[in-house]
Structures are given as C-alpha cells and as structure tokens.
Amino acid sequence: MDSEAAAKGFSALRYFAPERAYYLASSMQHAFYYEGKSLSDPATYREIAIANNLEPEAVLARYDDIVSTEEAHADFAKVQQLGVQSYPTLLLQKGDEFIALGGGVMTAEKIEARLENVIS
C-alpha cells in the first residue's frame, strides 16, 4: 500500500468533515481490510465520500490538489514526533504526553500488561 496515497485520501475526506475524522478513518479501514479495496485508488475515496454523505467530486478534487500532499506530509511528521514507527500503533495520552502501548501484532494480554505498567 502506498501510505502517501492513503494519507492524501484521509486528508481530502477530513477536510470536508473534520468533526468526523475518526469515522472517516474507520471507513477507510473497512474499505481496505473488509472490502479489499485499494487505498491508492481514488475510486475508493469516491465510495467513502458517498457513504459518508460528502460530495465525491469535491473530495476527489481535494485528493488531487497539492494541498492534500502537503497535509499528508505534515501528518507523517506529526506521527514521527509521537514516536510511531509502525502501523498499527496504540497510543495513550497521559496529560500532554503520548505513550506507545503497543504496535504491530500484540495480544490483548501484552497491551494490558503495558497499560498497567504505564499507569502504575
């Protein structure tokens, strides 16, 4: 998967409904993991836009705009500042600090043990 294309797609969707960013990201995950869609294919974002009552042509125009690429790169920089090195990564916000609880493939037990260690 081309992570820049996915980040651009998320940027384009988020632009039109920032208050629904979580749900839009969830729609992307569903399209990729459940439906087997490519997050490098703009048609996927058309379908996600329609499913989320967004104007598909506006989303695709935003996807193709350099601004979405710039926002994707800014998102990559933000993720790097948080210390994320792989996907998926589970973060815990404790005050102003973000702590990685797990990443990659981890069992629930390992994540729970890490959480107990962090909060105690």
Looking at residue 89, its pLDDT comes to 86
For the chain, domain boundaries: 3-79, 82-119
Cβ–Cβ < 8 Å for 58, 7: no
CA-angle at 4, arms to 61 and 99, nearest 5°: 125
Tokens 């048609």, residue located: 43
pLDDT at 61 over 70: yes
Looking at residue 46, its pLDDT comes to 98
* pTM, full prediction: 0.82
CA-angle at 65, arms to 1 and 61, nearest 5°: 90
Those residues whose C-beta lies under 8 Å from the C-beta of residue 111, and which sit 6 or more positions away, are 90, 101, 102
* 3-class DSSP assignment, residue 27: helix
pLDDT per position as a tens digit, 16-28: 999 999 999 999 9
Q: Does domain 3-79 have CATH number 1.10.472.60?
A: yes
Report how far Cα 23 is from the mean position of its chain's Cα atoms. 10
Looking at residue 118, its pLDDT comes to 87
